[in-house]
Amino acid sequence: MPRERLDEPGLGLTGTTWTRVSPKLVWTELVSTVLVGAVVTAGCVIIGVVSGGFTGTAGTVWTLIGIAVAIVTLVTAVLTPRRVRAIGYALRDDDLILRRGLMWQRFTAVPYGRMQLVDVNRGPLDRVLGMSELKFVTAAASTNVRIPGIPFADADELRDRLVELAESRRAGL
């Protein structure tokens, strides 16, 4: 599902054909966000109650921290569908570009010749929803490039295509 809407003026990406990740990724992200938020909120509230509830200072602080975590979890859950729609990738002549982020947009270009490994991961929830995650290992030690929410068949096809491009670019070095 290529889209042009992911283009950002002034970055030299106009005319790039972007591919968005699967909309099913929203469910994976929501489940993760809500589970972690609920556990941390419950933990803080339990600590607050055990510490004296609202009668003691420590109990009040822990309960307020729990409420703050619940609010942050709610806001994150509400923004998750839009955040997932902002994730996209594009294959260009010499590199793969990954775009993510709403307020702080991040564009990462991975040159094909620098790719050393393309790894396909499928977690339990991803398998149920028919999705995969591609992770890239490059010559740079700090690289943490991953594309979540790619359908099974597309992930295998994309991995094979990227490995082919990486091998041809490395051979030309």
Tell me if 164 sits within 8 A of 146, measured CB to CB: no
Interval 80-92: pLDDT, tens: 999 999 999 999 9
d(CA 16, CA 18): 6
- pLDDT of 5 > 90? The answer is no
**Which residues on neighbouring strands pair with residue 18, listed in sequence order?**
3
pLDDT of residue 171: 62
**What is the CA angle 131-94-13, rounded to 5?**
80
Name the residue with higher pLDDT: 2 or 143: 143
d(CA 31, CA 42): 16
| Best-predicted range by mean pLDDT (20-29, 57-66, 93-102, 140-149) | 20-29
Torsion of CA 20, 21, 23, 24, to 10 degrees: 170
Interval 111-138: pLDDT, tens: 888 888 888 999 999 999 999 999 988 8
* Mean pLDDT of the residues in the chain: 85
Name the residue with higher pLDDT: 7 or 65: 65
pTM exceeds 0.75, yes or no: yes
